[in-house]
Amino acid sequence: MNEKVTFGSKIGLIAATVGSAVGLGNVWRFPAETQSNGGAAFLLVYVICVFLLGIPVMLGEFALGRGGKSSAIGVYQRLTPGKPWWVAGAISTLASYLILCFYMVVAGWTLEYLIQSVTGNLYNINPVAEGGMNNAFATRMADYIVSPWKPLLFTLGVILINLFILLRGVKKGIEKMSNIMMPLLFVLLLIFVGVSLSLDKAAEGLKFFLSPDFSKITPGVIINALGQAFFSLSLGMGILVTYASYYPKDTRLGKTAITVSLLDLLVAFMMGLIIFPAVTTFGLTGENLEGATLVFVTLPEIFMHMPCPQLWSTLFFLLLLVAAVSSTLSIAEVTVMTCQEHFRVSRVKACCIVLLPLILFSSLCSLSQGVLSDYTIFGMNIFTFLDTVTTNVMLPLGSILMCIYVGWILKPSFLQGEITNNGTLKSRLLPVIAFIIRWIAPVLITIIMISQFL
């Protein structure tokens, strides 16, 4: 059914895959992880993790997707019919759907903040009466997130944006939008890097971010850097398998994996160049840079210190929305393709089957921050539970199984054939990549997964 669907151009397939990788992971998870894991030392370990593990595992997913030319579940069924390996794909597919439920909510918050920035409402505050600027923004964020109806409205908005793009198909929807969104994202990032580097105490922030103190590298830092690399590169969710099934036969998988990983790394690096100079300049080093607080409290506070806060705020939330939507498209595509293939329904029906129930599921996640916060699973509200169980358990499990499958179950000629385009390309690194997929990746990911429970 999906045999003929491919991305239309090399640039398009790179833009779409980078769009999937670049998301909240780069913009709000990376600076927070860097801050709490010792700054430059974390950056160094992170870069090593991306090269040593991220790129080989990404290549494994690409090979599986393009070689199996099917959905994240279908590739396993097609390559090893009658065997239970499809369960590995089912775990990734389920994880991607569960992630979508709460990722849409965060994308909804971003849309609301974008609109509040455009209208100027966000900056309509009285810091003196509201106990200081930080407090004023923190109260706003809390009010907004626990509000019973506002986040629902904006989450619905983001679901409809996704539906609109996905309904247009892989080439005319995902690829075309990525071709517009990715250059826009890089231009916006460059503007922010320029502004941030020209701030007074930029050098101090850069020192924290760029000059490593090797004594800060601990096993914990390595584990966190690996987790961040997998999250940021969208590994273990079936996304890359799904997108690679749309790659034409002549796509050079090695080159694509390196380009995508480097661009994803570049975006995270640029976010560091933006955040740390700003945080030191405005004396906010002690502030919590944890994801939501960084984006919805610290950054608006920083914009307030600059001329034209409304302009910077609008540009920033536009950037964040672009990053979030290009990721939600890819996360949703995993289940859309699975539905199309397994229920043999049209794309329109598959998009509706996947996205419309999200109106309910994402609403539940959203309400779990407020009126439904008393309903907990293992002591966590629905939102936090889904976040924890998917990122800490399901994604690593999906990756481990994928590596075992590509490294041990399929014949070595499968990986070799995909990476060398059936022998037409040379790859001196092939034995190293195969060794990492067979041994290093499954062992290390298992250690990370288990260490989180200790």
Any residues with CB less than 8 A from the CB of 310 and at least 6 apart, and which?
117, 118, 120, 122, 123
In terms of CB distance, is 103 or 282 closer to ligand PFF? 103
Q: Where are the alpha helices (DSSP H) in 217-369?
A: 219-232, 239-244, 253-281, 291-293, 299-305, 309-342, 347-367
Q: Which of 221, 231, 215 is nearest to 45 (CA)?
A: 221
Nearer to ligand PFF by C-beta: 24 or 270? Answer: 24
Closest residue by Cα to residue 278 from 233, 250, 312, 254: 312
Site for ligand PFF in 317-336 (CB under 6 A): 327
Q: Which of 17, 37, 93, 232 binds ligand PFF (CB under 6 A)?
A: 232
Per CB under 6 A, 231 contacts ligand PFF: yes
Does residue 354 bind ligand PFF (CB under 6 A)? no
Candidates 25, 39, 300, 407: give the one binding ligand PFF (CB under 6 A).
25
Contacts with ligand PFF, 155-194, as mask; x by CB under 6 A = ----------------------------------------
23 binds ligand PFF per the rule CB under 6 A: yes
The closest residue (CB) to ligand PFF is: 25
Closest CA to 279 of 294, 268, 267, 291: 294
Identity of the residue numbered 417? G
Q: Which is nearer to ligand PFF, 138 or 323 (CB)?
A: 323
Residue 300, token pair as written in the block: 């608006």
The dihedrals phi and psi of 75, each to the nearest 5 degrees, come to -60, -40
**24 touching ligand PFF, by CB under 6 A:** yes
Q: Does 224 bind ligand PFF (CB under 6 A)?
A: no
Helix (H, G, I), strand (E, B) or coil at 233: coil
On whether the CB atoms of residues 96 and 335 are closer than 8 A, the answer is yes
User: Nearer to ligand PFF by C-beta: 93 or 134?
Assistant: 93
Handedness of CA 413, 338, 101, 149 (dihedral sign): positive
Residue 237 interacts with ligand PFF (CB under 6 A)?
yes
Single out the residue of 251, 280, 335, 391 in contact with ligand PFF (rule: CB under 6 A): 391
Pseudo-torsion of CA 50, 55, 60, 66, nearest 10°?
Answer: 130
32: contact with ligand PFF by CB under 6 A: no
Task: Determine if 26 is a binding residue for ligand PFF (CB under 6 A).
Answer: yes
**Which residues, numbered 64-103, are part of the site for ligand PFF (CB under 6 A)?**
99, 103
For binding to ligand PFF (CB under 6 A), which residues are involved? 21, 23-26, 99, 103, 231-232, 234, 237, 327, 391, 395
